[in-house]
Amino acid sequence: MRKTSFPYFVEDSLEKQWFFTLSDQQKIQYACRENGQWSEKIPIDGKTVRFFSVTMDNQDRICLLAYTLGKQLIYYEWDGRQWYQRTVYRVSSRFEDISWLSV
């Protein structure tokens, strides 16, 4: 499979850095940097993704929007301890598709 998403880099107010990429299997993964040390890459879940977008709000909540190969638009949010997710939209027609997204 071909990667179709750019990597994303965000930093919170405490200068913790987050780096998001797609794995070779098209799954979203991230690593965190604190005190000069990067963590191992951690998958968010097992969903196979076409592309995604990431941002951080002014309260250090990470918001991620992903479009899966199963034609689902999924919203993820990091609460400081774990990821929450919600399916926002399911593409049900073979004539419909999502070609671009941004958070």
Residue 95: inside a domain, yes or no?
A: no
The stretch 56-77 carries a mean pLDDT of 95
Residue 18: inside a domain, yes or no?
A: yes
Residue 82: inside a domain, yes or no?
A: yes
Burial 52-80 (b: 16+ CB within 10 A, else e): bbbebeeeeebebbbbbeebbbbebebee
Residue 97: inside a domain, yes or no?
A: no
Mean pLDDT of the chain: 90
- Three-state secondary structure call for residue 67: strand
Residue 2: inside a domain, yes or no?
A: no
**Can you give the CATH number for the domain in which 58 is found?**
2.40.128
What pTM did the predictor assign?
0.88
Give the chain's domain count.
Answer: 1
Q: Looking at residue 46, what is its pLDDT?
A: 93
Residue 21: inside a domain, yes or no?
A: yes
Q: Looking at residue 3, what is its pLDDT?
A: 47
Whether residue 85 is predicted with pLDDT greater than 90 in this model: the reply is yes
Whether residue 26 is predicted with pLDDT greater than 50 in this model: the reply is yes
pLDDT 10s digits, 41-63: 999 999 999 999 999 999 999 99
Q: Regarding predicted confidence, which is higher, 32 or 94?
A: 32
Residue 101: inside a domain, yes or no?
A: no
User: What residues make up the domain containing 16?
Assistant: 8-90
